[in-house]
């Protein structure tokens, strides 16, 4: 016989949870007491519940294991909402436990009561309102199963305080197996469809592989890499998919979409067979949907049937886990690859020649500043790549710096690039980096951020001090909400309505105030040395404030509205 509070903790232990990210309050005091009385799960006390969700998220993205969050009712729960929505948009496995007021007070507008189940409904994969301590174990089991299977996502468990009462004891047994008659995610793809897809791929003259975050979440990166290499086809990754295929490989054409490379977007537009793997034809990829890949037959592999033909109608849908579908595809392809005709081989060679032509555009070329002193934001990212030898975990916030990081820091492995792609949540970067550092204490974890975004969860510098998290923060400081300013330059004749960051703090002093190290870099010549100095301080958090050119834009950029993927701005005032 155990109390609800103890049951909850036991269940989390059964699920192999090592960290819970959270913040206490009235409705979860029994749970916190249960946490105190055990030592297998470590609780990480954040400074704001939003950060707890992003930490759990960073932990989940980097490890593939679900992140766990614990917050109190009312404001604790509402503060967690942005992080839950962030995880939902990027299909990240997460279990969020929210306290609730006592059962008999529900519906009476009692102190710190909010309808958490109602508020989070559109941004969770599922949620549970626990009604008795006896139901708790089953709810937790289901929550972890749902969060981590099929298309992953956040699951909320809302627990009224009385259910965790230490004096009310109930029988406890953790269910070992779970099956839900109403939830059966596909275990493998349809073999007939897979064969059809391979046939189409083998006949292609201008093939393209378009891989997204699903490949990373579905642990299919090595299968994707083998298939791509076997076929010898060009591949692009979405913002969420970076690292699904080695970013420094010659078959890789870069990121595609709104800020994709010239060659990636041109090849997408001209291909005749497109295979989309774990990608969802997001509007930031397709530009005008009606003009998307006008010549292509499309194959789409996805675990979520609702992703298929949602934005773009596809010809060969395959619903299933990417890893198993790609494995099967690889087998079928191996048997067929030798039978490709000479004409096909020469068509493929012509296609590559065309792509090499587009590559010559060198769309990511950086023009150093005229004075030779001012640092360009791209140069800052390139310097981080050099100093970290391309091996760091990199989290970002949202804005120009995020796009520069995506474009100028190639990733050769999955789960090393961590950013909020779907929701685009400023404030994500630092807490996400903290979650990664918790999971990988000895790894180099860089948070590439902007002076706007970093201030959205800057309070977490305190949490970093408490737990000794030696994150390297690279603040691409352009003294403006750069991405907003870029749009205002391009679409509002340069009217910078509230896109400046005035009254910025002295970030070096701020870092020092929290007990960390701060370094400010203003000259290009000092950049490499500063980063090396920062990375050498292996057990310290270092805040590197890099003062960069405030007027730089991110290019290429899709022309909108009504543009196709090949319609791009290549630099200021120059378009395709």
Q: Which residues bind another protein (CB under 8 A)?
A: 117-118, 121-122, 125-127, 129, 146, 180-183, 304-306, 308-310, 313
Q: How far apart are CB 475 and ligand TPP at their closest, in Å?
A: 9
Burial class (CB in 10 A: 0-12, 13-18, 19+), 454: buried
Q: Using an 8 Å Cβ cutoff, are 261 and 364 in contact?
A: yes
Side-chain-side CA neighbours of 133 within 13 Å: the count stands at 25
Q: How far apart are CB 305 and another protein at their closest, in Å?
A: 5
Q: Using an 8 Å Cβ cutoff, are 447 and 430 in contact?
A: yes
Q: Which is nearer to another protein, 17 or 120 (CB)?
A: 120
Helix (H) or strand (E) holding 338: none
Q: Which is nearer to ligand TPP, 233 or 428 (CB)?
A: 428
Q: Using an 8 Å Cβ cutoff, are 127 and 100 in contact?
A: no
Q: Is 38 a catalytic residue?
A: no
Alpha-carbon distances of 130 from 13, 118, 173, 374, rounded to whole Å? 19, 14, 16, 57
Name residues contacting Mg ion, limited to 416-475 (CB under 5 A).
Answer: 450-452
Stretch near Mg ion under the rule CB under 5 A, chosen from 32-40, 317-325, 355-363, 478-486: 478-486
Q: How far apart are CB 81 and ligand TPP at their closest, in Å?
A: 12
Q: How far apart are CB 424 and ligand TPP at their closest, in Å?
A: 4
Q: How far apart are CB 538 and another protein at their closest, in Å?
A: 45
Active-site residue (options: 13, 102, 112, 354): 112
Strands (E), 423-511: 445-450, 472-477
Burial class (CB in 10 A: 0-12, 13-18, 19+), 37: exposed
Q: Is 403 a catalytic residue?
A: no
Q: Give the contact letters, 370-409, x = binds to ligand TPP (CB under 6 A), - = no.
A: ---------------------------xxxxx--------
75, 368, 424, 505: residue in contact with ligand TPP (rule CB under 6 A): 424
Q: Which is nearer to another protein, 31 or 303 (CB)?
A: 303
Active-site residue (options: 36, 38, 111, 334): 111
Active-site residue (options: 49, 328, 379, 451): 49
Q: What does 425 interact with, of ligand TPP, another protein, Mg ion, none (CB < 5 to 8 A by kind)?
A: ligand TPP
Site size with Mg ion, rule: CB under 5 A: 5
- Would you call 174 helix, strand, or coil by DSSP? coil
| Residue 204, phi-psi category: left (phi > 0), alpha (psi -120 to 50), beta (remainder) | beta
Per residue in 339-372, is it b (16+ CB within 10 Å) or e — as a string? eeeeeeeebbeebbeebeebbebebbeeeebeee
Closest CA to 159 of 120, 119, 127, 122: 127
Alpha-carbon distances of 462 from 46, 373, 466, rounded to whole Å? 8, 34, 6
Alpha-carbon distances of 394 from 36, 248, 365, 472, 530, rounded to whole Å? 33, 16, 22, 10, 18
Active-site residue (options: 142, 161, 416, 485): 161
Q: Which is nearer to Mg ion, 74 or 482 (CB)?
A: 482
Q: How far apart are CA 226 and CA 559, in angstroms?
A: 34
Stretch near ligand TPP under the rule CB under 6 A, chosen from 135-143, 282-290, 437-445, 450-458: 450-458
Stretch near ligand TPP under the rule CB under 6 A, chosen from 69-77, 322-330, 361-369, 421-429: 421-429
Q: What does 180 interact with, of Mg ion, ligand TPP, another protein, none (CB < 5 to 8 A by kind)?
A: another protein
Q: How far apart are CA 69 and CA 23, in angstroms?
A: 9
Q: Which is nearer to ligand TPP, 220 or 452 (CB)?
A: 452
Per residue in 416-449, is it b (16+ CB within 10 Å) or e — as a string? bbbbbbbbbbbbbbbbbbbbbbbbeeeebbbbbb
Q: Is 281 a catalytic residue?
A: no
Q: Which is nearer to ligand TPP, 363 or 453 (CB)?
A: 453
Q: Which residues, in sequence order, are bridge partners of residue 3?
A: 169
Q: How far apart are CA 523 and CA 124, in angstroms?
A: 46
Q: CA 468 from chain center: how many Å?
A: 24
Q: Residue written as tokens 């100095």?
A: 533
Q: How far apart are CB 306 and another protein at their closest, in Å?
A: 4
Name residues contacting ligand TPP, limited to 461-520 (CB under 6 A).
Answer: 476, 478, 480-484
Q: Using an 8 Å Cβ cutoff, are 93 and 121 in contact?
A: no
Q: Which is nearer to ligand TPP, 172 or 487 (CB)?
A: 487
Q: How far apart are CA 557 and CA 400, in angstroms?
A: 12
Q: Which is nearer to Mg ion, 228 or 400 (CB)?
A: 400
Q: How far apart are CA 30 and CA 6, in angstroms?
A: 9
Q: Is 255 a catalytic residue?
A: no
Q: What does 424 interact with, of another protein, ligand TPP, Mg ion, none (CB < 5 to 8 A by kind)?
A: ligand TPP
Q: What does 453 interact with, of another protein, Mg ion, ligand TPP, none (CB < 5 to 8 A by kind)?
A: ligand TPP
Closest CA to 542 of 437, 452, 456, 397: 437
Q: Which is nearer to another protein, 122 or 372 (CB)?
A: 122
79 near ligand TPP, rule: CB under 6 A: no
Q: Is 483 a catalytic residue?
A: yes
Q: How far apart are CB 422 and Mg ion at their closest, in Å?
A: 21
158 near ligand TPP, rule: CB under 6 A: no
Q: What is the DSSP string of 509-576?
A: HHHHHTT-EEEEE-SHHHHHHHHHHHHH-TTS-EEEEEEB-TT----SEE--SS--TT-EEEETTEE-
Q: Which is nearer to ligand TPP, 348 or 554 (CB)?
A: 554
Active-site residue (options: 456, 483, 557, 568): 483
Q: What does 118 interact with, of another protein, ligand TPP, Mg ion, none (CB < 5 to 8 A by kind)?
A: another protein
Q: Which residues here bind ligand TPP, judged by CB under 6 A?
A: 397-401, 424-427, 450-453, 476, 478, 480-484
- For Mg ion, the binding residues (CB under 5 A) are 450-452, 478, 482
Active centre residues (catalytic): 49, 111-112, 161, 483
């Amino acid at each position: 016989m155990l109390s609800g509070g103890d049951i909850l903790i036991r269940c989390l232990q059964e699920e192999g949870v090592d960290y819970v990210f959270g913040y206490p309050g009235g409705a979860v005091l029994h749970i916190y007491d249960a946490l105190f009385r055990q030592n297998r799960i470590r609780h990480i006390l954040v400074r704001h519940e939003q950060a707890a969700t992003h930490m759990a998220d960073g932990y989940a993205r980097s490890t593939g294991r679900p992140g766990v969050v614990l917050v109190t009712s009312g404001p604790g729960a509402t503060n967690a909402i942005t992080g839950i929505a962030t995880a939902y948009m990027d299909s990240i496995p997460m279990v969020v436990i929210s306290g609730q007021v006592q059962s008999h007070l529900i519906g009476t507008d009692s102190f710190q009561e909010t309808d958490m189940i109602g508020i989070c409904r559109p941004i969770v994969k599922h949620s549970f309102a626990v009604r008795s301590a006896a139901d708790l174990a089953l709810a937790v089991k289901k929550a972890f199963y749902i969060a981590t299977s099929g298309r992953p996502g956040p699951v909320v468990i809302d627990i009224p305080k009385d259910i965790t009462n230490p004096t009310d004891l109930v029988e406890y047994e953790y269910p070992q197996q779970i099956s839900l008659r109403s939830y059966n995610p596909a275990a493998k793809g349809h073999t007939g469809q897979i064969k059809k897809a391979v046939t189409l791929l083998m006949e292609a003259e201008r093939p393209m592989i378009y891989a997204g975050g699903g490949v990373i979440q579905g642990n299919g990166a090595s299968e994707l890499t083998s298939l791509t290499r076997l076929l010898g086809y060009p591949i692009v990754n979405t913002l969420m998919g970076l690292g699904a295929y080695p970013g420094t490989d010659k078959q890789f054409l870069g990121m595609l979409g709104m800020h994709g490379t010239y060659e990636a977007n041109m090849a997408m537009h001209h291909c005749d067979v497109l295979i989309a793997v774990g990608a969802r034809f997001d509007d930031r990829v397709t530009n005008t949907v009606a003009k998307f890949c006008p010549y292509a037959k499309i194959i789409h592999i996805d675990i979520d049937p609702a992703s298929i033909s949602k934005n773009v109608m596809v010809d060969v849908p395959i619903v299933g886990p990417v890893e198993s579908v790609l494995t099967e595809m690889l087998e079928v392809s191996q048997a067929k690859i030798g039978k490709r005709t000479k004409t096909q081989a020469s068509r493929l060679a012509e296609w590559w020649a065309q792509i090499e032509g587009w590559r010559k555009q060198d769309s990511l070329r950086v023009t150093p500043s005229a004075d030779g002193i001012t640092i360009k934001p791209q140069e800052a990212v390139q310097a981080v790549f050099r100093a970290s030898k391309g091996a760091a975990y990199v989290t970002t916030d949202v804005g120009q710096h995020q796009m520069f990081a995506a474009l100028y820091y190639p990733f050769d492995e999955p789960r090393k690039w961590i950013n909020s792609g779907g929701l685009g949540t400023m404030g994500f970067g630092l807490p996400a980096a903290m979650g990664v550092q918790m999971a990988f204490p000895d790894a180099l974890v860089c948070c590439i951020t902007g002076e706007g975004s970093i201030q959205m969860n800057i309070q977490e510098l305190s949490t970093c001090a408490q737990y000794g998290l030696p994150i390297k923060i690279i603040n691409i400081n352009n003294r403006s909400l750069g991405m907003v300013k870029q749009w205002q330059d391009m679409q509002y004749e340069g009217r910078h309505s509230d896109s400046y960051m005035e009254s910025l703090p002295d970030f070096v002093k701020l870092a020092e105030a929290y007990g960390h190290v701060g370094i400010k870099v203003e000259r290009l010549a000092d950049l490499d040395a500063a980063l090396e100095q920062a990375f050498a301080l292996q057990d310290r958090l270092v805040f590197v404030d890099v003062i960069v050119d405030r007027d730089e834009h991110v290019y290429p950029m899709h022309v909108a509205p009504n543009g196709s993927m090949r319609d791009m701005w290549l630099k200021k005032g120059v378009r395709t």
